[in-house]
Amino acid sequence: MDAGRRGERIAADYLELAGCAVVGRNVRAGHLEIDLVVRDGSCLAFVEVKMRRGTAFGGALEAIHPEKLRRLREAARRFLAERPEARRAEEYRFDLVALDVDPGGGGMVLRHLRGIR
Sequence ranges of the domains in the chain: 3-113
Give pLDDT tens digits for 42-78: 999 999 999 988 666 678 888 788 999 999 999 999 9
DSSP 87: G
| CATH number for the segment(s) 3-113 | 3.40.1350.10
φ/ψ region of 26 (left if φ > 0, alpha if ψ in -120 to 50, else beta) reads left
Q: What is the pLDDT of residue 57?
A: 63
This prediction's pTM: 0.91
For the segment 3-38, what is each residue's pLDDT rounded down to a tens digit?
A: 778 999 999 999 999 999 999 999 998 899 999 999
